[in-house]
Structure 1
């Protein structure tokens, strides 16, 4: 089941034990994160546990969000820019997923200073050597990892391992970025979402827009978007953010993929061009 406007409107809401307004999207077989912009950044906690999400990414700006829960999904990737969308995130719960290498955790380096808690219990990565000291070095603000407090001794160990003129461990060797690894099947499937959020398609899991039929070729999508002027692209992106129905969101996303400016947006462009460049038609 995709995250549609109807799903969001009918999802349970409650106050968490921490007194956070919580949106519950548990156990409904969600394949990918999408359309959370329609929540109007109202919730402090979003719980998407027990779904089929493979990639943590495609988040709109969510300044209110403090806790994000994705326990028991199929996560094997974290988008490079995901932390930029959640400037006030305090806790991230990714227990029982498939994150397997220290390189998978590198995007967490961009976490905000208020980020204090993370759970990666029952992920293969949590069993690797240097897992805790690496996370402590990567995100110094962390106070709890896998529900265990970070101690002063652990911080000193992390400094000894990874800092100084002669660190004992070379991070470049133990934490290889995803971009430097062999591409995975479907890595460019969500390139359309990358265009929308400004990341340029920098890595993604299979897009829900393909409905399980496999990813569309990346180059045509990129070429289509580039056939529009930057002004037109910005106009479509703004319309997507202001859309009130999932049908409008899909229509506008499809127009952006195809490089076509929708008719209902052409009027404003034409007026702008007439006002700013009328003389150009004479020469």
Structure 2
């Protein structure tokens, strides 16, 4: 399996190294099939598993060296085994946090086995659709920087009623109206949308304040009273939106609609848009899968995968992952 350098750090004199787990790696399963390794470039020793280092054991008290942690690049499904083997700890804010960073997870699933947490870190994954969470009244913080999120479930607030902090740095949210899935999150006070196409839209900050009046920090900047007043001038109120607000609400990112390719196979007269962005090749493969479907169950399965934000395995360019 191909490996890439995912993270590097410098260990100075008499600084402590910490194991990812509280047990040696041979007594606790890794969340990845290939163990992470530490390479001591100062002493040029053989690589050792970082998980085998006990907590608060000095790595080298006489000199500094550079350590490189390596992770495999293959995508992984968010399985119950992966969740149970992932690190859960108290972060500096005294929140119980679940660490799911860097696994190339394509979709949120199976979180019911995780138990109650205050925060979940999904940084550096491949999640496209923000949704499919179980009811989690305790969850307040979601970290999803450097994913592929392009759409948000309109029922997200039903699953996460107390969400206060959402970090979506470096995702694919394109239109102002694509943020409407967050309107039900009444407790949302801190929102980060830097490095998304939407952050370059005209009146971006004013729109966010119009749609989410409880937000106090946007892109790590405190919201000013003048910005709120400007937002009201431009867009009016939620009860009486201005003409500009009504126009923006009607502009959303285009999503793949299979009802135009089923040749009448769909029994519903209502067009259904799927919450996953497909490449041109993936779209054509999905169309072929629908045309070649031998039963209604196959079409329902494709519909379910697309609604969950997953690209069907048969439509992916690489080898499909095993279920």
Which category describes the TM-score, using the shorter chain as reference length? Answer: 0.5 to 0.7
Distance 1:13 1:72 in 2: 21
Q: TM-score, normalised by structure 2?
A: 0.57
Q: 1:2: which partner in 2?
A: 77
Residue 166 to residue 77, structure 1, CA distance change in 2 (3 Å): closer
- Tell me which of 2, 7, 21 is aligned to 2:96: 21
As a proportion of its length, which structure holds more helix?
1
Residue 127 to residue 182, structure 1, CA distance change in 2 (3 Å): closer
Contact persistence 2:128–2:151 (CA under 8 A): yes
- 2:198 matches 1:125: yes
Distance 2:277 2:200 in 1: 27
- 2:35 matches 1:35: no
Q: TM-score, normalised by structure 1?
A: 0.65
- Runs (4+) of structure 1 exceeding 4 A deviation are 164-169, 212-219, 221-225
- 2:268 matches 1:220: no
Residue 175 to residue 14, structure 1, CA distance change in 2 (3 Å): same
Contact persistence 2:255–2:276 (CA under 8 A): no
Residue 80 to residue 202, structure 1, CA distance change in 2 (3 Å): farther
Contact persistence 1:186–1:205 (CA under 8 A): no
> Alpha-carbon deviations, 1:239-262, whole Å to 9, x = none?
xxxxxxxxxxxxxxxxxxxxxxxx
Residue 166 to residue 34, structure 1, CA distance change in 2 (3 Å): closer
Residue 26 to residue 161, structure 1, CA distance change in 2 (3 Å): same
Q: 2:233: which partner in 1?
A: 160
Residue 224 to residue 130, structure 1, CA distance change in 2 (3 Å): closer
- 2:180 matches 1:106: yes
> Alpha-carbon deviations, 1:34-93, whole Å to 9, x = none?
1111113x1100000101111111111111100001000011111111122101111000
What stretches of structure 2 of length at least 5 have no aligned partner?
1-75, 260-271, 302-323
Distance 1:142 1:182 in 2: 27
Distance 2:300 2:106 in 1: 26
Deviation at 1:167, TM superposition (A): 6.4
- 2:263 matches 1:184: no
Contact persistence 2:255–2:274 (CA under 8 A): no
Q: Secondary structure at the match of 2:233?
A: helix
Distance 1:109 1:224 in 2: 29
Distance 1:12 1:101 in 2: 35
Residue 182 to residue 75, structure 1, CA distance change in 2 (3 Å): closer
Deviation at 1:166, TM superposition (A): 8.6
- Rg larger in 1 or in 2? 2
Deviation at 1:175, TM superposition (A): 3.1
Deviation at 1:204, TM superposition (A): 2.7
Distance 2:254 2:172 in 1: 17
What stretches of structure 1 of length at least 5 have no aligned partner?
188-200, 226-283
Distance 1:4 1:118 in 2: 28
Q: Secondary structure at the match of 1:155?
A: helix
Distance 1:33 1:186 in 2: 22
Q: 1:245: which partner in 2?
A: none
Q: Secondary structure at the match of 1:71?
A: coil
Q: RMSD in angstroms over aligned alpha carbons?
A: 3.2
As a proportion of its length, which structure holds more strand?
2
